[in-house]
Amino acid sequence: MREVRVLGVPMDLGAGRRGVDMGPSALRLAQLETTLESLGFRVTDMGNTEVPVPESFAQGPGGTGNPLYADVIAAACRAAAQALASRPPGSLAVSLGGDHSVSMGTVPGSAAGRPIGLLWIDAHADLNTPETSPSGNVHGMPVAHLLGLGDERFTSLWEGQPHLAPEDLVYIGLRSVDPPEARAIADLGITAYTMTDLDKRGVAAVAVEALDHLAHRDRLHVSFDADVLDPTVAPGVGTPVPGGLTYREAHLLMELLAESGKVGSLDLVEVNPILDVANRTAATLVELTASLFGKRILGKRA
């Protein structure tokens, strides 16, 4: 019986809207643990990392070159990385955000010193640096920092390990990209599939090609932002963008990634219960997690 370790990172400091700090609770309420257990996994909930609320400390104005709440976000991400790196060898990891800045900790923590491929499934590229960010909100910067670009407080979260290489990253589902991010994707040679690519070619073809691109890595981390889904499917997100993945497209993507047998860790981020309808967004992400971890129409994948 394989073990899944679940870690909550209840942080909304990186986002422009409050509320995603309640995402871990919403996902747990949507029966994440029971769902995974029904697939034959032994689930251990590690609880939440400690993240202070912004009202409890002083913070100057953010802006270009000055990420908002940088020190506190870095500390929370470091705690998440250390918690995940200490999990038993061979166990799977599911990290519950929080805004997408939590991935600056969960990706290196899940890697635990070994090379890893990253599938960033998101409407947004999250590739701004503090110098290019129009808002100073850190949830628009995690990929840059995972690649070793930007603020040393975040790039140091790898704790001496090599940063993620551009060839170890694939975007799926992009549809809202800032001009500096688009230039960075081109300059770094990052493989990126927009919703236009998915519309033209279909989810199956894109998934197969993405996995082929990451075939040089034997472990994959999936970082899944709820706003990659169309807002009609996932209303409870802070930065909705029309034209996202349908319910069935998202399940097919998860099923195809599961068939690779390489997915060892997962982020579920940007669920905002304040904006949701009857916890529908969290419930949908739990259902997608089941598909990623082997659930099929005719039973669990062998």
By annotation, the residues acting in catalysis are 100, 122, 124, 126, 139, 225, 227, 270
Place of tokens 């904006």: 275
Distance CA 68, CA 111 (A): 26
Token pair of 294 as six digits? 């082997």
Distance CA 301, CA 259 (A): 8
Strands of the chain (E only): list them: 3-9, 42-48, 92-97, 117-121, 169-174, 191-194, 220-225, 263-269
SS3 (DSSP) at 8: strand
Token pair of 3 as six digits? 């073990």
CB 237 within 8 A of CB 282: no
* Distance, CA of 107 to chain centre: 9
